[in-house]
Structure 1
Amino acid sequence: MDIYTVTRLNREVRSLIEANLSTVWVRGEISNLARPRSGHIYFSLKDEDSQVRCALFRMQGMRLAFAPEDGMEVLAHARPGLYLPRGDFQLIVEHLEQAGEGALRRAFEVLKKKLADQGLFDAAHKKPLPVIPNRIGVITSPSGAAIRDILAVLQRRFPGIPVLIYPVPVQGTEAAPAIARALDVADERRECDVLILARGGGSLEDLWAFNEEIVAHAIHRCAIPIISAIGHEIDVTIADFVADRRAPTPSAAAELVVPDRWEYQRRFDALDHRLLSLMRHHLREQHQALAWLERRLIHPRRRLSDDTQRLDDLMGRLIRCTHTFAAPRRNRLARSMAELYRHDPSARLRVHGAHRRQLAQRLSLAARRYLGEHGSRIASLGRALDAINPRQTLERGYAIVTRQSDGAIVRGPEAVSEGQLLRVRLAKGTLLCSVLRAGAEEAEERQR
């Protein structure tokens, strides 16, 4: 018989639990909540028939979006286990959320990804806010705290700007269609320069109307700039992603939509003072420049008199310079003309012309004498050349015989063979012949 110790039994039971149940989702109501100084949270989850101990350690507890309380219904994502020292079955909680919010958060993430893929969150679609709007539209509940906060801030920062309220329910099943209609109406009427979409704080379920796709598309197609101011700073909705600007609270939205009038007035006064100072400085500089020009300005009659005297002086100097400059040059020109007449080239040209004609006559006589002396010799050489001209030999009945194959001249029968083709050039044309017999004529002469 195998007998277990308590520790061994607890360990094996824990091993069986951990092997068969890794993590589970458990829904239940919180009870017996305890927060020791360690920062861990211990509580029980119960339903109508049972309960189970739970431990939420400090690091996981710091990531909670809410403060757990007794009586709160929650969804716990936990690892089943066994606490060995006491043998207590318990859940080690890794994530805790309020019941009902888990499905909403998953739906939120799905819609967020879908709209992001469609481009509704792109920065290119964001419209700039007017510096000072002529009229502000607020889409919210007319009886909520959000509208009171917005009006109070607007009155404090920039009183006198008209505010148009588009009343809508901000919670419940009818809220999303009503908000979308109000956005379309405001866009169609174009009564306002900017819109504030506002609601006070609440749970994810309370704010769900601002996470509906119909509201997101209405914001996206609206041509008027929209500031979203939904809940508190930690609350983020789909409307915040689509809107042109997001404000953490309705009051912050009012501060975004208008500047501080008194600060604006102070800046305007400072700019006005600076502009006046610049204008005074500019006028002072212009006055000084005008006075300087006035001192330099000369009366036209005095200016004309001075210029006349200066012109007379220049004319006198010009005449004197002309005489001084021209006299020696006239003398030099006269001397040059005399030299030119003395060395007139026409006489020299006449002498050279006669000499040239004499040389031409001598050259002509020498050429005729040379041609006469050498003419007879040239004729004799021509006759000798004609005597040895092959064409003259051919005219006398002779022929030039060449081999057809290589063009060599045939000087005797030993240079050919029977059947070989020969080309015979005559005085008037050529013959193509075939050798029938070589050396036959010499043999026949010997026989005779």
Structure 2
Amino acid sequence: MQPSSRDVLTPSQLNALARGLLEDAFPVVLVEGELGNLSRPASGHLYFTLKDARAQVRCALFKPKSQWLPFQPREGLRVLARGRLTLYEARGDYQLILDSLEEAGEGALRRAFEQLKAKLQAEGLFDAERKRPLPAYVRRLGVLTSPSGAAVRDVLSVLARRFPLLEVDVLPVPVQGETAAAQIAAMLARANASGRYDALLLARGGGSLEDLWAFNDEALARAIAASPTPVVSAVGHETDFTLADFAADLRAPTPSVAAELLAPDRRDLLTRLAGLQRRLQTLHLHRLRNAMQRADRAALRLNALRPQARLRALRERQREALRRLSAAWRARADRDLAALRHADAVLRATHPRRRLALLRERLAGLAPRPRAAIVRQLQREALRARGLARSLEAVSPLATVARGYAILRHEDGRVVRAVADARPGDRLDARLSDGHLRVRVESPARDEDG
């Protein structure tokens, strides 16, 4: 039986129908396999095949998704590809157009981590309100870690340097492997049951996501969140995050940083202790002075209430009043005696002979004073005249003449100050330091600068 003309398809029609069937049947697929035939042309797209032991499929990851991969694709790497199945009509090849590409092992773990994290976060297991604050000073610390790892050595070294008085117990647990999470949770429960520790530190060094996977266990995260003792998590490096970090009361970037957060610096404590001691001494001295002042005031009040003390005080006041009265009488008598003596002196001074003698003595004392005043006045005037003479000499034209210059005058006495003041044929008088010269102007000349 021959097919009709309407059942005959062209290659392009066939490929278009096949493409539609493939895209409708496989909208999104996840394929795990090994990378092969890896190619990255100048366009920036990434072409490769995903293969296993029996088959392979072509794949394409277009730019810019290919530029933001978190890993470097290489031949033989096992990956997990997510995309849609389609058919390239020009060649009739079917292929995967990818939306994402990740390493198979770590990618699966990362998805599991994100799903479990979202679940526990929705339950409020990571809420900040649930977390317990650390004690101000930790006296006993339990460190859950491997006893042979580098993390425990770092922690113990920092604690010994910062605060040697801190009691530290290393609680040995495996930090990697299938049973590690269960053993860590069991040790955490025993540490809480002992009631010995003020805080617990969960520590481990860095590693890959697979190495740290024990700390992403759901049961362990719930045990950390339910711990009555505050838990500090220091797992991996600063960029590593685990569910234990989110469930713990405090997350430290590294085990060494966790030790610094848990142990105070002894130098800071010594400085603070010295300051508190100074404050205590100052407060003690202040209270002691106040107590002594109150005691003195009480003793004074007590003595004031005794009759003998009041009698002594009255007698002392009486003696003081008598002393003041006697002093006042003596002062008044002295003033009266001085007044009498002054009056006697005045009476004696009023006698003519006595007054004449006093005037002569006064005149004899005043006689040298005018002469001395005249001498001082003459000296001042002489000094002033010498100063004026020096000033006049400084501005005198004769001083200028004495230095080798001459003063030119017309016959009528006018001073020649400029070349324009003299004409040819004028007769001038030149005043020099030792006489006069008669000169006749031939022709005026000016300086070269003029």
Give the TM-score normalised by structure 2: 0.54
Secondary structure, counterpart of 2:260 in structure 1: helix
Amino acid at match of 2:243: I
1:126 equivalent in structure 2: 131
Q: Which residue of 2 aligns with 1:410?
A: none
Change (3 A) 1:107 1:39: same
- Separation (CA, whole Å) in 2 of partners of 1:114 and 1:303: 94
SS of corresponding position for 1:229: strand
The residue that corresponds to 1:55 in the other structure is 61
Task: Pick closer, same or farther for the CA change 1:293–1:104 going to 2, 3 Å.
Answer: same
Map Cα deviations across residues 416-446 of structure 1 (whole Å, 9 max, x no partner). xxxxxxxxxxxxxxxxxxxxxxxxxxxxxxx
Which residue does the alignment assign to 1:194?
199
State the distance in 1 between where 2:288 and 2:206 align.
61
Deviation at 1:211, TM superposition (A): 2.4
The answer as to whether partners of 1:74 and 1:97 remain within 8 angstroms in 2 is yes
Counterpart Cα distance in 2 of 1:281 and 1:263: 26
Unaligned regions of 5+ residues in structure 2, if any? Answer: 318-450
> Do the aligned residues in 1 keep the contact of 2:44 with 2:66 (CA within 8 Å)?
no
Supply the AA of the counterpart residue of 2:56. S
* Residue 195 of structure 2 is aligned to residue 167 of structure 1: no
Displacement of 1:279: 4.1
Inter-partner Cα distance in structure 2 for 1:260 and 1:41: 54
Report 1:318-329 matches (<5 A): none
Quote the residue 1:204 is aligned against: 209
Could you tell which deviates more after superposition, 247-256 or 86-95?
86-95
Alignment correspondent of 1:177 = 182
Segment drifting more, 222-231 vs 49-58: 49-58
SS at match of 1:170: coil
- 1:73 is the counterpart of 2:88: no
Aligned residues: 304
Hey, what's the Cα distance between the residues in 1 that align with 2:135 and 2:192? 16
Q: Tell me the alpha carbon deviations over residues 166-207 of structure 1, each in whole angstroms, 9 at most, x when there is no partner.
A: 211222222122112111221222332211112223333332
- The alpha carbon displacement at 1:20 in A equals 4.8
Contact preservation (8 Å) 2:178, 2:214: yes
Once the two structures are superposed, what CA deviation does each residue of 1:122-181 show, in whole Å capped at 9, x if it has no partner? 445422212232222111122223222322332333334232112112222221221121
Secondary structure (helix, strand or coil) at the match of 1:146 reads helix
Q: Secondary structure at the match of 1:166?
A: strand
Alignment of 1:292-371 (within 5 A): 300=304, 301=309
Kept in 2: contact 1:131–1:259 (CA 8 A): no
How far, CA to CA, are the matches of 1:166 and 1:38 in structure 2?
Answer: 56
Q: Give deviations 1:226-277, integer Å, cap 9, x for gaps.
A: 111222334333322322222232222222222233233344445545x269
Give 1:13-52 correspondences, 5 Å limit: 18-31=23-36, 43-48=48-53, 49-52=55-58
* Compared CA separation, residues 223 and 59, structure 1 to 2 (3 A): same
C-alpha displacement of 1:115: 4.2
Which whole-Å deviations, capped at 9, do the CAs of 1:315-368 have from their partners, x for residues lacking one?
A: xxxxxxxxxxxxxxxxxxxxxxxxxxxxxxxxxxxxxxxxxxxxxxxxxxxxxx
Correspondences of 1:102-113 after superposition (within 5 Å): 102-112=107-117
CA pair 291-183 structure 1, distance change in 2 beyond 3 A: closer
Determine if contact 1:41/1:61 at 8 Å carries over to the other structure. Answer: no
Sequence identity (%):
49
Q: Deviations over 1:57-76 (max 9, x none)?
A: 445754x5555444321111
Residue 77 of structure 1, CA deviation = 1.0
Letter in 2 for 1:52: R
SS in 1 for 2:144: strand
- Alignment gaps of 5+ in structure 1: 310-448
- State the Cα RMSD in Å: 4.5
Matched residue SS, 2:147: coil
Structure 1 pair 287–134 and aligned structure 2 pair: CA distance change class (3 A): closer
Q: Distance in 1 between matches of 2:72 and 2:272?
A: 46
Report matched runs for 1:428-439 at 5 Å. Answer: none
Q: TM-score, normalised by structure 1?
A: 0.54
Q: How far apart are residue 210 of structure 1 and its match?
A: 2.0
Give the greater-gyration-radius structure (CA). 1
Distance 1:20 1:224 in 2: 55
